[in-house]
Amino acid sequence: MNDNLEPKLKDTSGPIAFQTEIKQLLNILVHSLYTKKEIFIRELLSNASDALTQMRYIQQTDHEILDPSQELEIRIEVDKEKGLLRISDTGIGMTSEELKTNLGTIAQSGARAFLEAAQGDDSNLVDVIGRFGVGFYSVFMAADWVKVTSRSYKSGEDAASWFATGADTFEIGSSDKEPRGTTIEVKLKEDTLEFADEYRLKEIIKKHSDYIPFPIYVNEDEEQTNRQNAIWRENPRSVEEEQYHEFYRQLTLELEQPLETIHFVADAPLMIYALMYLPAAPDRGMFTLREQDGLKLYARKILIEEYSKDLLPPYYRFIQGVVDAEDLPLNVSRESVQATALINRINKILTNQVTQKLKEMANKEPEAYLDFWSKFGQFIKEGVASKDTNGEDLSELLLFRTTTSPDQWSSLDDYLEHMKPGQEKIYYILGDDESSVSRSPHLDYFQTHCYEVLTLTDPVDSFMLLGLREYKEFSLQNVADSDLQLPDLLDDDEDGEKKEQPEPLSEDDINKLINRFQEVLGDKVTEVRMTNRLTNSVARLVDAKGSLGQEMQRVYRMMDKEYQIPKKILEINPGHPILQQICDLPEANDLVKTVIEQIFESALLIEGIHPDPASMIPRIQELMKTALDKD
């Protein structure tokens, strides 16, 4: 007789209808186009593992059991030619009544929940089918028929068989199976024969079921296929650095060692085991196994999600690793309130672990932290900007360039240490690059009086500032703010010799000058006024009162290329020799107009908002010519 034909059951009861929701579920699964059908193997192994776990428990309490000395194990046989896959366990087994209720007739709220969540489209839901408590049926994505033969651990019970093709009914028959446990025989469909390939099968077991706590043997292989020992469940003190690195390599296939390992085991308030890694680089390597961000989530050593993105906030998405939660229900749907609340609590605990580790690194291993910062600083800034920080304060982790130590990284605590007596604010300047920032007129005052200013030149800095308004009671202050209150100078003389001041301009001269500027610039600026804030610079641009702050302007500009920077106020420095010389020239002089235009456009340039810098060239040539003509 041909093996492809459906095996006959003995003493069959005749067809029994599946419960309605299960019929619908089967209909979806049989026709599923889901590409990772391999997950049915994980589901069958997870069921075998559950049956073995229960058996282990029963062995400790009950002595009237069948085959008490039988090893607790899983054996898999494949026959590629016949397209057969057979999974046997020595777990608790099922009686014929249990086969009938567990695999088909009992009301299944999980099946209904799955159908509702899928709404006809199973594309990604199949991946988490186990959580709905209907994982067994996933086998029908790959099977022409399935035969389950089982013998209960209860002595005196007969073995029985269950048979189905994925249609609306199943059958129950008798069996002469001797040993305790369950054997699931799967006749693979033409297009799923890969699962009868020993090599492929072992690969799948390693990927999805490596940490099943019972040995899994494939065909005649005496060596178990799964690794079984979950390193993350071990006492952190007993694990060698080498083992951590080896596990990281197997998890990710990354060539470089991780920057840092975080192994965390807790039994209160939640039982969780977490092994997390800071990778060597923010981008996954070419040959990485990890196709997406997210941690690998297990519940009692059984993989329930390959890439769980809910266990850490988005800004920690670069972290790799494994989390195993004892209290996570395996068969609870993703949307369940209970599971969500639990995941949120785990998230909070893990986030805190990572943040603490980073703080520890920053304090105790500054070199290593600098390395981390140079690679992952962006993520920390993103975290500071995000409102949802899970109660964590990340600002301690930030590093900055500053005007007084431009070649080093300083933390906000370093900055506080350098503050001058009486200084109440943390000053910063925004710009596009270090070199233009260092020439900014906004720094005149602060440089003259030796105040340290943070230089923020990274595009994400403007976003970061939205979430960083103060640090340890000191508020942050943009030096370009026009209404900035300058610190009272306690003892200015200590700041070095006073520059020789030119004769100040008379009020009359200043007014004439302002008028002249206004005439030339017209509506390119909202106002022209004098300021005493500048020393080396001729002029600067500041935002009109009530207009959007510079940070938000930058954020808008980044999000919308069409965004127009609002017009600004031009502040001029009456003590600057250029302005004094303009006053000495006759009012009708053409050169004055050219110089004023150039002063304005230079100010635009230094702010990084000149729309067309090259357009200044003809004017600069004209000025050069005038200068040369003079001599």
Report the alpha-carbon distance of residue 147 to residue 228 in Å, rounded.
27
CB burial of residue 441 (10 Å; 0-12, 13-18, 19+): buried
Given the rule CB under 6 A, which residues bind ligand ADP? 43, 47-48, 50-51, 89, 91-92, 94, 102-103, 133-136, 182, 331
- Which residues share a beta bridge with 87? 76, 184
Look at residue 252 and give the partner it binds from ligand ADP, Mg ion, none, a contact being a CB closer than 5 to 8 Å depending on partner kind. Answer: none
Report the alpha-carbon distance of residue 275 to residue 125 in Å, rounded.
27
Look at residue 182 and give the partner it binds from Mg ion, ligand ADP, none, a contact being a CB closer than 5 to 8 Å depending on partner kind. Answer: ligand ADP
Shortest distance in whole angstroms from residue 200 CB to ligand ADP: 22
**Residue 102 or 457 having the CB closest to Mg ion:** 102
x-or-dash string of contact with Mg ion, 32-71, rule CB under 5 A: ---------------x------------------------
Shortest distance in whole angstroms from residue 165 CB to Mg ion: 20
**Residue 570 phi, psi dihedral angles, 5° rounding:** -95, 120
80: its two tokens: 């590629």
Shortest distance in whole angstroms from residue 103 CB to ligand ADP: 6
x-or-dash string of contact with Mg ion, 119-148, rule CB under 5 A: ----------------x-------------
Shortest distance in whole angstroms from residue 130 CB to Mg ion: 5
Shortest distance in whole angstroms from residue 472 CB to Mg ion: 52
Chain centroid offset of residue 168 CA: 43
Site size for Mg ion (CB under 5 A): 2
CA-based angle 576:496:578, to the nearest 5? 10
**Residue 48 or 262 having the CB closest to ligand ADP:** 48
Shortest distance in whole angstroms from residue 429 CB to ligand ADP: 59
**Residue 304 or 592 having the CB closest to ligand ADP:** 304
CB 452 within 8 A of CB 443: no
**Residue 135 or 173 having the CB closest to ligand ADP:** 135
Indicate if the alpha-carbon torsion angle 308, 312, 313, 315 is positive or negative: negative
- Listed in sequence order, the residues at least 6 apart from 152 whose beta carbon sits closer than 8 Å to its beta carbon are 66, 92, 93, 94, 95, 98, 180
**Residue 182 or 455 having the CB closest to ligand ADP:** 182
**Residue 152 or 462 having the CB closest to ligand ADP:** 152
The DSSP code for 221 is -
Report the alpha-carbon distance of residue 186 to residue 84 in Å, rounded.
6
Other Cβ atoms less than 10 A from the Cβ of 81: the count is 9
Report the candidate in 104, 114, 103, 120 with the shortest Cα–Cα distance to residue 32: 120
Look at residue 94 and give the partner it binds from ligand ADP, Mg ion, none, a contact being a CB closer than 5 to 8 Å depending on partner kind. Answer: ligand ADP
Report the alpha-carbon distance of residue 573 to residue 514 in Å, rounded.
11
**Bridging pattern class, strands 169-174 and 16-17:** antiparallel
- 454, HSE (Cβ side, Cα atoms, 13 Å): 24
**Residue 51 or 476 having the CB closest to ligand ADP:** 51
**Residue 52 or 398 having the CB closest to ligand ADP:** 52
Shortest distance in whole angstroms from residue 209 CB to ligand ADP: 13
Find the residue with minimal CB distance to Mg ion. Answer: 135
The yes or no reply on residue 93 touching Mg ion (CB under 5 A) is no
**Residue 51 or 380 having the CB closest to Mg ion:** 51
Shortest distance in whole angstroms from residue 50 CB to ligand ADP: 6
Look at residue 89 and give the partner it binds from ligand ADP, Mg ion, none, a contact being a CB closer than 5 to 8 Å depending on partner kind. Answer: ligand ADP
Interface residues with Mg ion (CB under 5 A) are 47, 135
